[in-house]
Copies of this chain bind each other. A is one copy, B any other.
């Protein structure tokens, strides 16, 4: 009987005896105790699966964002740079995935304990078939954290598109995803010193997006503008996007993936309150992107007296990045004065570390193998 087979598998022998042969029970007391333990074990089982599922689904959606960045960037660069931008994007995601396994995850999460970094060494998950404690599978957590790390590198890719050479870019990505991102990540999500002070970053507005931004800015300063970006008169020269539909597709992919990025950052899905909160995050994330598009379209019309699809795409992304800081309870002022100070400290310290460290790495790359424009 399939019911009984399922029960045997999930409830263990004790419960199966209870369910299948309860008339043989010898005393209500002992039986109650067993049954209560079984009820608790079933609840723990379901909670584990729900949150693991949240991480896996969220992780796949954020992995999909790597394709979104690739299409957005391939669509917006000039035709001659499209293939290179595709190559950079699939390689950066791959390097991030390997580096976060070899170094990053443990540096960010293992033994940080209020400090400034974790331990060195590759991450490993339990053997196949092992039953885990905890509220979710550790491998699902690794997977979800890994795609976040890769997203950070994607931001650098877009900023330096059409100018950074392949190998210095890839080497920087390896250092960023294996060392730099995990260190600042350990300060907050790894329960390091910033977390102890009460810093808050729900889904990575500072830890992912600003880190990617600072790392890219350091590179952009050393690299300078794209050749031909400014004319002899100093004016910006238009550079023709290779494909608007590809850029549009990339934006839709990023929008879709962002539900996983923000939604699974709730980090729990096993209770009614958590499932309801994830739902609010989905709705808020969508509204933010919608608001970004509509604002961009209206402003473009008012200021430039025309329509511009790339501004609409940028509007969507601006809305998505903005809501990432607090997709669950967005408000203009949500915090007390005290936490403003901690938030300021966190943003500044993470920015300073990433900017300085990235500058050093980019400078060494420039001095050695070169980071000349393509």
* Residue interface bits A112-138, CB-to-B below 8 A is 1, else 0: 000000000000011111111111011
Is A166 part of the contact surface with B, judged by Cβ < 8 Å?
yes
A243 interface residue (CB < 8 Å to B) = yes
Bound together, the chains give a CA A222 to CA B267 distance in angstroms of 52
Interface residues of A in 263-295 (CB under 8 A from B): 263, 269-273, 275-280, 282-283, 286-287, 289-294
Do B43 and A7 touch across chains, with their CB atoms under 8 A apart?
yes
Contact between chains at B57 and A57 (CB < 8 Å): yes
Does any Cβ of B come within 8 Å of A74's Cβ?
yes
- Residues on the B chain within 8 Å of A292, using CB: 94
Q: How far is the CB of A9 from chain B (nearest CB, A)?
A: 6
- Contact yes or no, A6 B44, CB < 8 A: yes
Interface of A: prevailing SS: helix
A278 touches B56 (CB 8 A): yes
Closest Cβ neighbor of A93 among chain B residues: B290
Quick check: which of A192-200, A208-216, A250-258, A342-350 contacts chain B, the rest being far away?
A250-258
Closest chain B residue, CB of each to CB of A256 = B64
Q: Which residues from B are CB-within-8-Å of A206?
A: none
Tally of contact residues, A, Cβ under 8 A: 131
Name the CB-closest residue of B to A251: B90
A39 to B259 Cα, complex, angstroms: 32
Q: Is the CB of B91 within 8 A of A312?
A: yes
User: Does the CB pair A98–B294 fall under 8 Å?
Assistant: yes
Q: Are A91 and B293 in contact (CB under 8 A)?
A: yes
Cβ-based interface call for A42 (8 A)? yes
Return the CB mask of A44-81 against B: 1 if under 8 Å, else 0: 11111110110111011101101100110011000000
Closest 8 CB pairs of A and B: A67-B252, A139-B279, A94-B293, A140-B279, A2-B133, A19-B40, A97-B290, A22-B33
24 contacts between A and B (CB under 8 A): A3-B40, A3-B41, A3-B44, A5-B135, A9-B270, A11-B39, A25-B33, A35-B36, A48-B275, A56-B282, A57-B57, A63-B286, A74-B248, A90-B309, A90-B313, A91-B294, A94-B292, A97-B290, A125-B280, A125-B283, A129-B273, A130-B273, A137-B272, A140-B279
